[in-house]
Structure 1
Amino acid sequence: MNEPTSSPPGAVRLNKRMAELGICSRREADAWIEQGWVKVNGQVAPMGVKVTPADRVEVDKKAQGHQATQVTIILHKPMGYVSGQAEDGHEPAVALINPRTHWREDPSSNRFSPPQLRGLAPAGRLDIDSVGLLVLTQDGRVARQLIGEDSGIEKEYLVRVTWSPYSGASGGPGAQGDVTTDVQRVFPPAQLARLRHGLSLDGQALKPARVDWQNPEQLRFVLKEGKKRQIRRMCEQVGLKVVGLKRIRIGRVVLGNLPAGQWRYLGADERF
């Protein structure tokens, strides 16, 4: 749809501009505009108004105070939990966020309270049969940083694999059995190179990845994108089967020694 002719060149909706400036998410911007907490060039902004980079956007301290109470949580997701909404009888990961599962060694001064569950949502997915670091946040800025279209934040995984050397391109079961030990020794270097760069999913070429052997049965993947079941599907294309997948890092935040099924707050001094 074309912009109305009355809109000045480069004008975008205020909520989009606020998100681009890193002030908040679009959803938060709409809520703040509705509350009358946002001014454009000194005037209270109406819903749906469009702005240009030359316009001055100001946010009331009430909105900033509301934002300061929002939490971001680091969870060590165990197997059997889904990242988002409950499905097929499986509980969502957010069900693990309660006082009993709060890591005793959490250095944060935050204390759990029920309002912290309001709007708490995963910033990215982790499959039901995968484990490791899952971020849940109330803060739209964090969500946009991790899963926005322009996000380039690294995500690191340890991936245990077996290999079907006779599986062909389909990645199906090998006719002469899978290699389950010392996979590194027999897996072709050319196929490892394809994992790093050269594969496509859903008709789109994947971004280059860092893929190296961590030990003879385990690969270390570092990705800057997150398509659905991406690592498993990448491995299938080169005859590998994933038998264990654990995310250990997102950006500069690491899983560390956080126990499975427990969580901690993202520290005030931590940045992705």
Structure 2
Amino acid sequence: MQTATAQAQNVQLKAEGQVRVNKRLSDLGMCSRREGDAWIENGWVLVNGVVATMGQLVNLTDKIEIQRAAQEQQAQQVTILLNKPMGYVSGQAEDGHEPAVVLINPPNHWREDRSKTRFNFSQLKGLAPCGRLDIDSIGLLVLTQDGRIAKHIIGEDSEVDKEYLVRVVYGAVEKDVERHFPQDKLALLRHGLSLDGQALLPAEVDWQNPEQLRFVLREGKKRQIRRMCEAVGLHVVGLKRIRIGKVTLGNLPVGQWRYLGANEGF
């Protein structure tokens, strides 16, 4: 625990434009803060040629370098694309439901995966989902060991959009919902709704077919699409994520996974 004096010194240093070295690593796009802490612990980070220490504050003009061991470790990190089935949670096991990561095993590896990466169980260590996909939703789920990718997809400043196909009913109307659903409510889905006391960002919402909407979002509040639909009288009966940024679900079968290719990016 820091003393009051140490805390005051840190406040003063930060006011002068200094930040912790792990944050500087993250801001430079070199790694996540958590990964930066691990590198610092291993002595793999240099500040102006000197090995960094945990919690060290640096200036924006300081030269930050990482040693080859950090680069090699990062090069071995994997990012996996899973077509999540219904009934699995995205993150930690909850309410008796298994996490989606249990599906990442050799039998479920898609035969048509063109990646040259070979599976080993060390790839499961630190493999975490980039955003959630509800237990009753299906489709593209990204799991990664690479903090840079996680930050790019779900970081505070992320501009990566996500695309969903959403099957809906409107009251007792199950067929040709498009014809019965008011245009002013469709406009509200696009912009004008709030959740948890906060206005939602504009969204792209259009009819994919008479019973299915296509949503493109640039944010990811908990159960956002379902709650947006409820707010305008729609009930979601099926939700599938088909794209995150430039990466699409494509022909990946339900319950199977593949590696993010070297030439792919979000």
Q: Of 88, 91, 101, which aligns to 2:108? A: 101
Determine whether 1:265 maps to 2:259: yes
**Residues 22, 162 of structure 1: CA spacing in aligned structure 2 closer, same or farther, 3 A cutoff?**
same
Q: Of 116, 123, 131, which aligns to 1:116? A: 123
Q: Deviations 1:16-36 (Å, cap 9, x if unpaired)?
A: 111011100101100101111
Q: Which consecutive residues of structure 1, in runs of 5 or more, have no partner in the other structure?
A: 165-177
Cross-structure match for 2:226: 232
Structure 2: distance between partners of 1:18 and 1:237: 41
SS in 2 for 1:5: helix
Q: CA deviation at 1:4?
A: 3.4
SS in 1 for 2:12: coil
**Aligned residues, how many?**
259
Identity of aligned residues (%): 70
Q: Of 163, 172, 175, which aligns to 2:170? A: 163
Give the conservation status (yes or no) of the 8 Å contact 1:8–1:52: no
Q: CA deviation at 1:66?
A: 0.2
Structure 1: distance between partners of 2:102 and 2:168: 30
Give the conservation status (yes or no) of the 8 Å contact 1:74–1:133: yes
Cross-structure match for 2:3: none
Q: CA deviation at 1:190?
A: 0.4
Cross-structure match for 1:173: none
Give the conservation status (yes or no) of the 8 Å contact 1:248–1:254: yes
Determine whether 1:34 maps to 2:41: yes
1:71-90 paired onto structure 2 within 5 Å: 71-90=78-97
Cross-structure match for 1:179: 173
Q: Which consecutive residues of structure 2, in runs of 5 or more, have no partner in the other structure?
A: 1-6
Cross-structure match for 1:143: 150
**Residues 58, 241 of structure 1: CA spacing in aligned structure 2 closer, same or farther, 3 A cutoff?**
same
- Matched AA of 2:185: Q
SS in 1 for 2:235: strand
Structure 1: distance between partners of 2:35 and 2:114: 28
Cross-structure match for 2:193: 199
Q: CA deviation at 1:46?
A: 1.1
Structure 2: distance between partners of 1:8 and 1:39: 23
TM-score normalized by the length of structure 1 = 0.93
Q: Deviations 1:18-62 (Å, cap 9, x if unpaired)?
A: 101110010110010111110111111111111121111000011
SS in 1 for 2:117: coil
Cross-structure match for 2:56: 49
- Matched AA of 2:227: R
Cross-structure match for 1:247: 241
Q: CA deviation at 1:8?
A: 6.6
Q: Of 20, 23, 29, which aligns to 2:30? A: 23
TM-score normalized by the length of structure 2 = 0.96
Cross-structure match for 1:170: none
Q: Of 56, 68, 88, which aligns to 1:61? A: 68
Structure 2: distance between partners of 1:9 and 1:117: 41
Give the conservation status (yes or no) of the 8 Å contact 1:76–1:259: yes
Determine whether 1:133 maps to 2:140: yes
- Matched AA of 2:129: P
**Residues 181, 112 of structure 1: CA spacing in aligned structure 2 closer, same or farther, 3 A cutoff?**
same
**Residues 107, 236 of structure 1: CA spacing in aligned structure 2 closer, same or farther, 3 A cutoff?**
same
1:5-16 paired onto structure 2 within 5 Å: 5-6=12-13, 9-16=16-23
Structure 2: distance between partners of 1:6 and 1:134: 40
Structure 1: distance between partners of 2:50 and 2:256: 46
**Residues 152, 7 of structure 1: CA spacing in aligned structure 2 closer, same or farther, 3 A cutoff?**
closer
Q: CA deviation at 1:122?
A: 0.5
Structure 2: distance between partners of 1:8 and 1:263: 46
SS in 2 for 1:28: helix
Q: CA deviation at 1:7?
A: 5.2
